[in-house]
Structure 1
Amino acid sequence: MSTVHPPTAGTALPGPRTPAPNASAGQVDAARWPDVAIPPRVSRARRALAAAVVGRALDRLPLRVRYAGTRTAGLGGPLVEIHRPDAFHDRIGAHGLIGFGESYMAGEWDAPDLVGALTVLAAHAGDLIPAPLQRLRRLWAPRHPAAMRNTPDGARSNISSHYDLSNDLFALFLDETLSYSSAVFLGFPARPESLAAAQHRKIDRLLDLAEVRAGTRLLEIGTGWGELALRAAARGADVTTLTLSAEQRELALARAHEAGLADRIRVELRDYREERGTYDAVVSVEMIEAVGAEFWPVYFRTLDARLAPGGRAALQAITMPHERMEAARDTHTWIHKYVFPGGIIPSTDAIEATVRDHTALRPARRDAYGPHYAETLRLWREAFTARAAEVDALGFDATFRRLWTFYLAYSEAGFRAGYLDVQQYLFTKEGTAR
């Protein structure tokens, strides 16, 4: 198992500081989680400003916020309990939304219905911060660290930091297909099918869009743990699939051998920019989010270059509203620091403009499935919570569990609020297929 190594970045004022107690498990390990264990020191004026801005926002939201049993705020709704108001405001005053997430990791606040509370916040993401501060965002919001740029070396490091945590960890909360992307449910929302069946439905739909059949030369960008490659090979396709995760590659190869399909599947530890083959179809599932905005033109030019005339590219992509993407694209966030370094979620406008301006590909179809992702994340989150003891047994501590609980709930809330969506795209290339 690869052990998680959380970032140690972040500067602090000199002087003694007191580690923050984790509400669920004693003390935070300061060696493993330095920016969580010890709250930042800020001036009283900065704390007061943070408290005023946060209080103004919360007072106008359908939440019920309780401050250490002393007072309440909000218009009523999901409960948020702030156990240590000073530390909570210090973190937000020093690090904004990164501090908000770190405060949860430290156990300084909680919510019995975490998804419900975060859904309210996600639904008001555009107006939580006063307009004057929004206009000055470039001055106060942290910028992406240069080390997280998705250059070929940077992309390898970014992908490894998440996907090489442990195959066993992901197997605890994913279904048996080991699919780590939105499912597409039949019968949703009334009586949805099982998660595994819905993951197969998602994969089969993408393969159908790309017209993958016996003899198809298929390139997959972003292997995951190999389920799409397996289903494509079972159709008789010849599959080349690319990943930057050594652990994912190892398991995907083992699964191909176990299924008797190793002769039809090549799993390459290779950056998409390094591929030189020509293919009838390209499929890429929720990989564009890890590309980085500056490399979107390269990514789509690669799809164009790898497709033979008459070829088809099917993509699944998480998206967000264009104006929110533009506001956040240069900002270093809690998700970047602890979950997906170097990532940025595109808008549909950004995807379609990049394809138009940098390729000869033609958009042929787009379908949205945002509520299906909320349901997928709910099932992952509940499975992760139910198997907490097994997560511990793998060597991940209580702070890591709070981190991942927050990440899964935060993501689910984004889709429930409509702040996030997920699309399946089909792009075609003119010419005559072989």
Structure 2
Amino acid sequence: MRSSISLGRIGGVPVGLNVSVLVIVVILVVGLAFGRFPIAFPGLPTAAYVLAALVSAVLFLASLLAHELAHAIVARRHGVEVTGITLWLLGGVAQLRGEPRSPAADLKIAGVGPLTSVVLGGFFALVTWGVSAVGGPALVSGMFGYLAVVNVLLAVFNLIPAAPLDGGRVLRAFLWARWGDRLRAAVAAARAGRVFGYTLIILGFLNLVSGLGFQGLWLALIGLFLVNAASAEEQQTQIDAALHGIKVAEVMSRQPITAQPDETVAGLIDRLVLRHHLSTYPLVDDDGRFAGLVTLGRIRAVDPARREATALREIACPPPDVPSARPDDLLTELLQRMSGSTDGRAVVLDDGRIVGLVTPSDISRTIQTVDLRAREPYRTPRGADLAPHPPGGPSAGDSRPGDPTSGGPSSGGPASSGTVRSTGRRDAA
């Protein structure tokens, strides 16, 4: 889930809004300003209801953000990288790279979100009592009362033991501790999530046919999201388990054809692109050290009239932004770094010199042939040995000389919260 509007950094974590979050804001404002508030507190000007609804929507989004920040802070304390938080149509996403290494850490990361929502619910309830005690406006008291109830519902919904909700993470941690097998626990939690998602879809359909309209549609939408997220999570967990123990050297394409940073785009096209049909071109300096990465997509983006005058260094992805690994690194660890990378490719370096590339086609080929490898057939990792990470990048890849198998060029209300680790952590509304 990508951010459309950046809100800066909080505690070093990038925070942003996806444009779809505006749908939630509109639903909240319309529902509160022209439904709940006028019914509960009649006789006030429409502007008062709209203002109270807008404040409620902003504080609700702030509550979602606090929920996600709690996940992020605890995750970082347990060594899990947090790349960003995005608020979107169905809630929030804390994008985590990696997984906790113990059931206790998993439990803490999952449980702190609902705990934060409960604390916020108590805080808003206290404010509600305070406003009433001093004789404040009933609409203001009702606004904070609404936020108290919504935050408690947010926590309760998230504690349902079904991935990708936080309760699914709690279930996974419990089963992981009991069975000593993280893969088995993760698959069980994901399947529970899929069952719960289908249940919501059925309930939503029944509500629709019974005339409840929007409420049924909302339940069905959340159910569909949970089914898809849980299915993706189960598949990703099994893929990462299958790749467990495979080294980067076993997957990488060796001896990639390189180019010089000062070479022009037109020169590269004439010398290599039209001859070898590659999609990835590492740049090396005069000392043979890695100096950037140029892809076919970056070459195509250059105006044909400027290709003669544009040096490759001007369009290359700089070395710090290119995921890298050593040949003896684990593939699953590299996939973690490749997740969300600009070009979906990684370089394999030995003492600063490039010795190989890992592209989407290399990863895809490895997944397709992993069961053919001469390995122990039941080598599923146990306990903290398994930390699922998303495979990186788009599905296009490279073709290389001597590599004929390569591909061509390259909730219960307006909000509730859950989690998906395949791209990060998602909270559903």
> What range describes the TM-score normalised by the shorter chain of this pair?
under 0.3
Q: Which has the higher helix share?
A: 2
Normalising by the residue count of structure 2, what TM-score does the alignment of the two structures yield? Answer: 0.25
Normalising by the residue count of structure 1, what TM-score does the alignment of the two structures yield? Answer: 0.25
Structure with bigger gyration radius: 2
